[in-house]
Structure 1
């Protein structure tokens, strides 16, 4: 806290370091986080949560959770959301709270994807699972009461990398492109060749030392094909990708690679709204009542509403 000028509003999470001592530990921790009781019991009085199963690229079953605001009867936009967690952790309670807020205030449906995790399932499986979930959403839009022309993708941290990858996959494979991509402090580059990677080796919530372990588990074969679908900054081209909202945290080893991805998109003619938050660390929005979090979540929702309604 003293070393980095992180806003006091994020205490005590501004002191927290994830207990990832090994890939095995990360997998165990993640397995305990999802689905929580509110999904199993469906006790939420503002949204319904239903579980659906779909086939991924290798024939395996994966699950998605459809979060549907009560009262949203007619066909509506949808945000296909990929949670963060270093490619190792399952979605957590704060992910649910955030996407529920998006659903209620932007009047959209959420498809929350339970993709398979590293290290058991390294690249390309998580990205392929996420792409399969996007294809499934397009194919089932009428049944799900989703406006097919208003399907977007979003994600935070590792989920931001997956959202960016899915956009590249859809472009490269000639399938339906998402309307836009919502990238929250995203992972974008396994090469870690940025000042923020060198400067933020001990930051709370996430840091460069953890990123090294993450990449070792997620991309154990550095020569695997389609590496841009793991590390979006390695794409041969950024042309023809959807409009993006990209957000960074100040004291975050991922800060500079997020900026680099925003600039790569802009240089390719893609419209980008770049938001650089100040006094923040990675995952700062876990503190929902912090003034900075409240303000930036309003910015995200404003972007969702503007682009869904146009």
Structure 2
């Protein structure tokens, strides 16, 4: 019993520190910046310029906005855009391509805070874009070619608050700060639970056993066994939980900056159990196209993993 209480207390302390001292400051700054750019109409202008360039990849205007959201806000941000796309009559084929792109890209709620651990943001964003575009293209032209391409009066305009005058700017900042606080606080339960499970598995020796069993297999493909723990955490509990485990491993000197960057392709993306479940809840049609989107997303993640492996 004493061991369990000790694991819970340590997990709780680590989760709160990570949420409030790492995740919250980054989310506040990035969300304020994004919301101000939205309110000023600058993001709309950027989306309008990029849309013609990205149409061959199977993306429309709102798909471009979803890419900006996952890259600079969080993995949860595109859910509103996916829901809006479904309501406004975007075709199933475009929905699948956009969902695949989101699955394959690096989510800001993990990538941006992990800069403090030594993650190279420039290469992460570059490979994220490459993987996302590859995932969208393959889904639209190959895996989702059987889906309907019929658009039903699509309205791609995006509704944003106004930031006219000092009061409008202050209101936008306050709303963005409140949103960042909700994201950070909402991450705490999953962080605590995942860190408790990870801590218990460590104390019971299960992680050591898994590492021992899997080391020969991983050696065949030149993968470091120290990545077993963050990988298990990521795909079972999500990217934020993985970030918590990676933070502890970096503090303990168990993983290097080179290993962190080499593994970013398959560790920093929303394609995990919590992420997939959350994103496909955006709507009935979004949930119906998750299979071709998952296939495209896997190819995009594979390309990102290869790129990060060679770059690091």
**Bigger fraction of residues in strand:** 1
TM range (shorter): under 0.3
Q: TM-score, normalised by structure 1?
A: 0.27
Q: TM-score, normalised by structure 2?
A: 0.27
Point out the structure with max Rg over C-alpha.
Answer: 2
